[in-house]
Structure 1
Amino acid sequence: MKKYISFLVLMFFSSLASYCQSIATSPYSLFGLGSLYESNFGITSALGAAGIALPSDDFINNKNAASLVDIPANNFFFEVGGTGIQSSFQSNLKTENRNNVQFSHFAFAFPITKKSAFSVAMMPYSSSSFKVSGLKIPIIDGSNEYYYLDVIGTGGLNNLDLSYAYKFGNKLSLAFSASVLFGNTTDERTYSISNSVTSIDKKVSYTGIRPILSSQFKMSPSLTFGLNVKSPVGVNASKTQSVTVINDFGTMNLETDKVSDTDDFYLPLDIGFGVNKSFSKKLNVTFDYEKSFWSATNQSDMYGSFTDQEKFSFGLSYLKAKTSRNYFDRIKFAAGAHYDSGYLMVSNNKIDDKNFSVGVSLPLDHLSSALFISYTYGSKGKITNSLIQENYHKLTLNLNLDGVWFVRRKEE
C-alpha cells in the first residue's frame, strides 16, 4: 500500500515539475524580487506556517534546522511537495480568476551521529509571474496627470538550503544553514503617455548566499522554545535590457541587449521566535512570531517603499495514538491561522496577508512515512484606487518517505 501510494504521488509531483514554471501568479509579484514564497514542509502548512519550535521526529522541519537532531537514528527522510492555488483578484472595476499548480520543493535529511544531523533542500525563494494591463499611475504623487503601464513578468529565485545541526546535552541544539539564492526575473514593460510609448524588456540575474543560525531548547519533554536569526545580505544583480521609444517622430532603439550592473537587492535581518507545548502527548499547540527589518535595508521599489514586516502563526494538532494498531488512531489532524503584515507600502497601504488552514497527516507505514494534505484560504491586499484584493484557495500535498539505513540484520 505504501509503495503504491508513494508511486502515485511521486508521479503526480513529477508531472507538475515538468508542466509548471512558477509557484505564484499574482499582480503583487510585480514588486521587488517577486512574491516571497514560504515553503512549508510536512504538516506545517496546516499549522498556519508555525513550526520554529517543532521537532523533526516524523518529518523534515524546514522552519528550524536545529530540530534535525530529533530524526531517529539510522533513519533517512526524503520529502517532496506540490501546491495548487486558485486565486480571485478584485478591483473597483472587475474580478479575474487564475489557477496555478506547481511542484514546490524536495528535501532529504539524516542523522550523522547521535548528536548531529544534515539536510539539503531545494525550493523557490520568490516568484515573479504576473500580467498587468492598463495600470493608471500618477506621474507625481497627488498629480492629476497619469501614465499607463502594461507589464508581463516571469521568473524568480531558487533557494538551495544546506543545514547542519548539533545537539549539546539533552536540551539545547544549534544549527547553521547556508541559503544559496540564484535565478532571474524577466519583464516586458510598456509606458504610455500622450502620444509616446516606451517599451523596456529587461532580464535581471541574481546570486547570493545567506547565513542562518537556529536553535531549539527543550525546557521539558512537553515544552520547547525555538529561535531563528537570518543574516542581512546583499543579493548580487546584473541586467540585460532593451529600450524602444515610439512617438510622432518614429521609432528609436535606445538600447539593444545592453548588459550592465544594476542595484543589488538587500535582504533584511530576520528574527523568529517559536514555542511548542504538548498536552498528554495528544494535543499540540505551537506559536511563532517573526520580524523582518526591511526598513534598515534603505531601498525602495519604483511603486512603493519597503517597511518592517511581522508574521504571526498559530497551530493546533491532535494525534490520538502514534503507535496504535488502529490506522485512524494514527491520523494527525491540524488547523492553524497566519497573519503577515507584508513588507511593501504602496499608496500608503501595506500589502498584508491573512489566512487559516486545516489538514491531516496520513501515515503510510509504522515508521514516519506519511502523506500530508492541507487546505488554506486567505486574502492579500485590499481594494483601493491603486490596489486590488487577492483571495486564494490553496491545496498542499507533501509526501515524506522514511527509510532505515545501516541496520545489521539479526541472524537466528
Structure 2
Amino acid sequence: MKKNNFSAIMLILLFTGGIYSQTNNLTGSPYSLFGLGVQSNSNIGKNSGLGRSGIALNDPNMINNYNPATFSAISEKSFLLDIGFLGELNTIENSSKDELRLSANFSNLAMAFSLNERSGVGLSIVPFTDVGYSLIGIESNVEGSQDSFISNVTGSGGLNDFKLNYGYRLFDNFRVGVSASYLFGSIRETESVLINTSFLTIEEENYYRGFRFGFGFQFDMNNKYSIGLTTDFPTSLNGTQDRFVNKSLDFVGVIVEDEENLNISNFKLPLEIGFGVSSKPINGFTFNADYKRNFWSFTNQRDDIGRFIDQSLISLGAQYRARERGLKYWQNIEFRAGLNYDSGYLKVNNKVIDNYSFSAGIGLPINRRGTSMLNISFTNGQRGAVEGILIEENFNLININLSLKDIWFRKIKFN
C-alpha cells in the first residue's frame, strides 16, 4: 500500500521549517572576518570523511551535492534524507598568546528522490559561509591627541545555500545534471568603543541574496574508473545594510543613527570549475581525487586589508567496505579517510591565507541492507600562520550525519 499523505506533509513542514531555523554560528575562526566569512565545513553524508571529495563519485545510497549529475543514480522509487550536526573547536595562536573557541549547531538538511528510472532530484539547505569572530580589548589612539580608546568587535552569521539539483542519465555510462541555488543570509558586526566616560555602540547588519546556477556531468570509462566535471557560474549577490549607532554619556543613551535598507556594494562570486576522478581498483575500495579552480581575480574585488586571488582546492578521499550488501553487520561498515588543501583566495600583506586538513570517518549501518547510515567524521586542520598581523588557527571538526534511505510506494503483502 502507498505511504500516507500525512508523512509527506510532515516531511515538507520539517524541511521548510529548517530553512528559517538554519543558523550559521558554526565557526570561531578569526579569518571569518574577511569577505563573506570562511567556507562552511558543513557537509552532507559521507563527503566530510572523504576530504570533501566526490565530483566523480556515483553512489545511489547518498546525497552528493558536489555534482548534480549524481542525482540520476538514485534508485527508482527511492527516497533519501540527511540531517547533519557540526561541532568545531579552534585553537587561535599568535606570537604572544593563544586561546580556544568552541561552536556547534545543526549543519544541514537535505532530501532527494528518483523521478523515474533515469532521473532524480534533490533539495538541500546548507551553510555556504560561516562568520564567528571576536576581537577584544583593541587599544587605539584618538587621531590628533594623546588619548586612547578601547574597542571590542564581534561578528556572527553567514550565508545559506538553498539548492535544487536535477540529474538525468543520458546513457548507461553518461550522466548530466543542473543546479540552481538561492544564496541568502546576513552578517552582523557589533563594535563597542569606550572613550573615557563615553560609550559608543555601532551595529551593522549586512544582508546578501542572489541566485547561482551550475552544471555537471559524470562519465564511466569502464566498471572501475569514472570522471566528473562541474561548473558553477559567476554571479553577483545584492547587498543592503541596517545600521544603528548609540552613544552613552554619563549613563544617558542617545541614538545617533538608525537607518535601514542602505545600499552597499554587491558581492561577486567567481566562476568555479572542478574536475574529479573516482576509481574502484579492487573489491571494497573506492578512491576519489578532485581538483577545483575558483577564478576570484576576475571579480576585481578587494577586502579592506587584502585582495582576492585565484584559488585552487585539492581533495583526496578513500573508502573501504567489505561487502556491497553483507549478511553480517561488520561487512556493511564503511571506513573513510581524506586529505584537503585550499590555496586560499585572499592575500594580506603579500601573504596568502591557505589551509589544509586531514579527515577520518566511519559509516555505521542502521538498517539490515546497510543503505541507511550514521556517518561520523573527524577533521583536523590548520589555517594561516604566525606571521606579521596574521595568526595560526588549528581547527578540529566533528561532523555527524544521519543519512536515511527508504522505498516509496512499496506494497505490503498479507498471506
TM-score interval (norm. to shorter):
0.7 to 0.9
1:24 counterpart SS class = coil
Output the CA distance in 2 between the equivalents of 1:125 and 1:179.
Answer: 10
Match of 1:405 among 388, 395, 408: 408
Shift of 1:128: 1.5
C-alpha deviations, 1:239-265, integer Å up to 9, x for none? 112346899xxx997633254110000
Q: Which amino acid aligns with 1:342?
A: G
Match of 1:25 among 17, 28, 40: 28
> What is the aligned partner in structure 2 of residue 72 from structure 1?
75
> What is the aligned partner in structure 1 of residue 122 from structure 2?
119
> What is the aligned partner in structure 1 of residue 380 from structure 2?
377
> What is the aligned partner in structure 2 of residue 8 from structure 1?
none
> What is the aligned partner in structure 2 of residue 104 from structure 1?
107
How do 1:214-363 and structure 2 match up within 5 A? 214-243=216-245, 255-363=257-365
Output the CA distance in 2 between the equivalents of 1:246 and 1:65.
Answer: 53
C-alpha deviations, 1:349-386, integer Å up to 9, x for none? 11111010111111112151011111111011111231
Q: Which amino acid aligns with 1:319?
A: R
1:54 counterpart SS class = coil
C-alpha change, 1:107 and 1:117, in structure 2 (3 Å) is same
Shift of 1:198: 7.3
C-alpha deviations, 1:48-85, integer Å up to 9, x for none? 11111111312111111101111111111101111111
1:159 counterpart SS class = strand
> What is the aligned partner in structure 1 of residue 154 from structure 2?
152
Please, which moves more after superposition, 177-186 or 358-367? 358-367
1:281 counterpart SS class = coil
Structure 2 residue 191 is matched with structure 1 residue 189: yes
Shift of 1:273: 0.6
1:301 counterpart SS class = coil
1:289 counterpart SS class = strand
Uncovered stretches (5+) of structure 1, i.e. residues with no partner: 1-13, 140-145
Give the root-mean-square deviation of aligned CA atoms: 2.8
Shift of 1:408: 3.4
Shift of 1:329: 1.5
C-alpha change, 1:384 and 1:258, in structure 2 (3 Å) is same
Output the CA distance in 1 between the equivalents of 2:228 and 2:141.
Answer: 46
C-alpha change, 1:254 and 1:298, in structure 2 (3 Å) is farther
Output the CA distance in 1 between the equivalents of 2:165 and 2:21.
Answer: 27
What is the identity percentage for the equivalent residue pairs of Structure 1 and Structure 2? 34
CA contact (8 A) 1:92 1:385 kept: no
Shift of 1:196: 11
> What is the aligned partner in structure 1 of residue 135 from structure 2?
132
Shift of 1:296: 0.7
Length-normalised TM-score, structure 1:
0.87
Output the CA distance in 1 between the equivalents of 2:200 and 2:305.
Answer: 18
Please, which moves more after superposition, 50-59 or 116-125? 50-59
Output the CA distance in 1 between the equivalents of 2:173 and 2:24.
Answer: 42
1:56 counterpart SS class = coil
CA contact (8 A) 1:33 1:156 kept: yes
CA contact (8 A) 2:292 2:313 kept: yes
> What is the aligned partner in structure 2 of residue 81 from structure 1?
84
Output the CA distance in 1 between the equivalents of 2:41 and 2:305.
Answer: 23
Shift of 1:324: 1.7
CA contact (8 A) 1:20 1:101 kept: no
CA contact (8 A) 1:56 1:68 kept: no
2:221 counterpart SS class = strand
Count residues with an aligned counterpart: 389
